[in-house]
Structure 1
Amino acid sequence: MAEADHGDGGGVRQATEVVVNGVAQGLRSLDDAVAWFSGLSPAHRETVLRDVAGYAMQAHITPADGREGVLRSGVKPTANPAVMVCLDPPRYGFHRLPPDEHVRAFRVLVSVFAVADARRRETYCKGACGHPWHRLPAPAEGL
């Protein structure tokens, strides 16, 4: 998958929104998202981890969301990113984990966000949602 960037990381940030929300809405598989993430430079991976952690914070993840997300992620519950997200309150700083933990951190964060976002779409956003990211079209090739 191509790494989109225009020098400032904006292309990566926009792609992150589409990829992560696509997983949360069942329009894209977690494995497809991981393939996209794996194709990024180390610096862009750190940016993505910061951004996805921010999405999780905005979705107000709960310890239950953390546990369910870790189960969905395929990451061992004892792995650093899994432990971090399941604490109450969750610990952030996933971008500061060693690079060999970044894919696990991405899997956990996206999975936990998907759980929390689904919960919020069924409660706060049900029927009257104005968030454009909750109405994504089918994914385009290359993202």
Structure 2
Amino acid sequence: MAELSNGDDRAFRRETERVVNEIAQELRTIDDGAAWFSGLSLARRQEVLRDVAGYAMQAHITAADGRAGVARSGLKPTANPSVMVCMDPPRTGFVNLPADEHLKAFRVLVSVFTVADTRRRKTYCQGTCGHAWHNLPTATEQL
């Protein structure tokens, strides 16, 4: 198996960032994101989980964000990823969950990130934001 170059890794990270932020800004559905995630190799799914957990932590998720994100994700509050993200402080380590829990973890993490990032876009970044990922063009703007 050929190794991926650093350029491939950077491109994949940008793709991950784009997909997650499109979901957070309702430019893509969580189901579309889940389908994208499900098509990845195990190693890539682990990278995505690590990255999305990092995005969520950077958005300063709270236990309340965790509960709101779990409700938004469609998962049971008793699912392992749901419990982890609702702890105070939220747990990380989603990569260490069994592979059959990765899709659940993705849905929960993206949903929690959506809640926290939306809050931050409406408060801290409103009108003064320089974060490119907070200002993604809509499909009609891309034309």
Q: What is the TM-score with the length of structure 2 in the denominator?
A: 0.91
Q: Deviations over 1:65-84 (max 9, x none)?
A: 00000001011100000000
Please tell me the residue identity of whatever aligns with 1:107: R
Tell me by how many angstroms 1:6 deviates.
5.1
The aligned residue for residue 101 of structure 2 is 101
The aligned residue for residue 120 of structure 2 is 120
Gaps of 5+ in 2: none
Structure number having the greater helix percentage: 2
Tell me by how many angstroms 1:32 deviates.
0.4
Tell me by how many angstroms 1:12 deviates.
1.9
The aligned residue for residue 17 of structure 1 is 17
Q: Deviations over 1:61-118 (max 9, x none)?
A: 0111000000010111000000000000000000110000000000000000000000
The aligned residue for residue 61 of structure 1 is 61
Q: Of the two, which has the highest radius of gyration?
A: 2
The two structures, once aligned, show a CA RMSD in angstroms of 1.3
Is the 8 Å Cα contact of residues 12 and 48 (structure 1) preserved in structure 2? no
The aligned residue for residue 132 of structure 1 is 132
Aligned equivalents of 2:54, 2:93: Cα separation in 1: 10
Ranges of 4+ aligned residues in structure 1 off by more than 6 Å: none
Q: Secondary structure at the match of 2:124?
A: coil
Q: Secondary structure at the match of 1:90?
A: coil
Aligned equivalents of 2:133, 2:54: Cα separation in 1: 15
Tell me by how many angstroms 1:137 deviates.
1.9
Percent identity (aligned): 68
Corresponding position: 1:78 with 2:78: yes
The aligned residue for residue 91 of structure 1 is 91
Q: Deviations over 1:35-76 (max 9, x none)?
A: 000010000000000000000000000111000000010111
Gaps of 5+ in 1: none
